[in-house]
Amino acid sequence: MLILGIETSCDETGVALFDTGEGLLAHALYSQVAMHADYGGVVPELASRDHVRKLLPLCDDVLAKASRTRQDIDGIAYTAGPGLVGALMVGGSVAHALGYALGVPVLGVHHMEGHLLAPMLEERPPAFPFIALLVSGGHTQLVKVDGIGEYQLLGESVDDAAGEAFDKTAKMLGLDYPGGPQVAKLAEQGTPGRFRFPRPMTDRPGLDFSFSGLKTYTLNTVNDAREAGELDDQTRADIANAFEAAVVDTLVIKCRRALEETGVRRLVMAGGVSANRRLRAALETMVAKHRAEVFYARPEFCTDNGAMIAYAGAQRLMAGQRDGDRILAVPRWPMDTLPPMNEPRREGLVSQK
Ligand code: KG4
Ligand code: ZN
């Protein structure tokens, strides 16, 4: 089956072609980062309009790269949520229009399920069960994964997501949007240990996270340094370093706890923040000590992309799941309401509960 995958939940237009026999054939991404940078964050209406401009040319682009035509497509998967509703509507409308014209099934995919399954596209894919650390701009979750659609939420952030904390810290340090990669780059120049930031919620049992206190601590440190006339480049780098160390430590402590509590020995890390090199290195050190393994996608498939949606959609389309005639756009959508693979539901992926 040849599946066209479409991702338009936020500020990247991602398209890919995944063949269930041959694997990933082609993918293309257009990032709107430069357009939103002037505003310091994503402007939803501009995002939707730009997806309208870019989506069909990108579809033609991947078909050309894979030497296929629209008539070769056997199914279409698009991100149905969570995300910006206008942006989601663009992907859903194009997917349904193409599906109707070509007479092929269409399926709305959960964006975080896409992230979660992205490491399956790599040479050494993880086997089930595994513990997934989902760390993106909107989510920080630990999930026990027994199979596709078999998700047990172990813990999540009670306030800001890890990526959001990176983005807000970037703003405090005068760095451009999106902040995560910029904070990580600045942190490399920092002196470890000059500042020590708190590791929130690590001193009590449980697998939930909280990053808003860390954000306030960072803001106070920036303000104190500014008032003391010390907010030079080195101090900014030292603050970035201390912030990154605190986030990485916190995530590693909770991942270790999740492995210990469940007895599972495979850890998957997914979502934009999983591109962070310090986090990868720290998790590798931790799993080595616990005779466990860690898996993640290549950096370009950690952040938003069409390949992960094509892959996740292909698995569910193969199991017979598909949308009805409705275009799905679900801004908030808990992942544990998704049906498992062995219970194909004709009405699609949105829980009727
Ligand atoms: O998964 P993603 O592309 O979009 C969402 O679904 O949210 O994640 C984007 C988030 C942003 O907050 C961005 O700052 C963060 O991932 N991010 C990083 C890095 N690369 C992206 N955070 C820390 N270090 C990075 N290298
Ligand atoms: Zn994402």
Q: For residue 348, report the distance from its CA to the centre of ligand 2, in Å.
A: 21
Mean pLDDT, the chain, as a whole number?
Answer: 95
What pLDDT score was predicted for residue 177?
A: 84
pLDDT confidence of 346, banded at 50, 70, 90?
Answer: very low
Across the range 230-254, mean pLDDT stands at 98
Instruction: Report the candidate in 85, 112, 72, 131 with the shortest Cα–Cα distance to residue 328.
Output: 85
What pLDDT score was predicted for residue 342?
A: 74
pLDDT per residue as tens digits for the range 192-212: 999 999 999 999 999 999 999
What is the 3-state secondary structure of 135-146? ECCCCEEEEEEE
Tell me whether strands 266-270 and 130-135 are parallel, antiparallel or unpaired.
parallel
pLDDT confidence of 178, banded at 50, 70, 90?
Answer: confident
Listing DSSP states for 1-60 in one string gives -EEEEEE-SSSEEEEEEEETTTEEEEEEEEE-HHHHHTTTS--HHHHHHHHHHHHHHHHH
Nearest atom (ligand 1) to Cα of 304: 3
Listing DSSP states for 266-285 in one string gives EEEEESGGGG-HHHHHHHHH
What pLDDT score was predicted for residue 327?
A: 96
What pLDDT score was predicted for residue 248?
A: 98
The residue that leads in pLDDT, 343 or 130, is 130
Residue 234 has pLDDT above 90, yes or no: yes
What pLDDT score was predicted for residue 273?
A: 98
> Radius of gyration (Cα) for the chain, nearest Å?
20
Residue 113 CA from chain centroid, whole number: 9
Distance CA 48, CA 33 (A): 13
What pLDDT score was predicted for residue 343?
A: 66
Mutate to test the pocket of ligand 1, among 273, 301, 304 (most ligand atoms within 8 A of CB): 273
Q: For residue 136, report the distance from its CA to the centre of ligand 2, in Å.
A: 6
Mutate to test the pocket of ligand 1, among 166, 251, 269, 301 (most ligand atoms within 8 A of CB): 166
Percent of the chain with pLDDT over 70: 97
Q: What is Dmax (Cα atoms) for the chain?
A: 67
Residue 353 has pLDDT above 50, yes or no: no
pTM given for the model: 0.95
Distance CA 60, CA 97 (A): 15
- Among protein residues, the one whose CA lies closest to atom 8 of ligand 1: 272
Q: What Cα–Cα distance (Å) separates residue 171 from each residue in 7, 58, 197?
A: 27, 32, 18
pLDDT per residue as tens digits for the range 98-131: 999 999 999 999 999 999 999 999 999 999 999 9
Give the residue carrying structure tokens 């790599």: 122
Mutate to test the pocket of ligand 1, among 135, 303, 304 (most ligand atoms within 8 A of CB): 303
| Residues at CB less than 6 angstroms from ligand 1 | 10, 136-138, 163, 166-167, 178-181, 184, 271-273, 275-276, 303-304
Instruction: Report the candidate in 155, 128, 157 with the shortest Cα–Cα distance to residue 257.
Output: 155
Ligand sitting nearest the alpha carbon of 41: 1
How many C-beta neighbours within 10 Å does residue 337 have? 15
Look up residue 303 and give its two tokens.
């952040």
Q: For residue 12, report the distance from its CA to the centre of ligand 1, in Å.
A: 12
Distance CA 275, CA 58 (A): 24
What pLDDT score was predicted for residue 344?
A: 53
Q: For residue 163, report the distance from its CA to the centre of ligand 1, in Å.
A: 5
What pLDDT score was predicted for residue 352?
A: 39
Residue 58 has pLDDT above 50, yes or no: yes
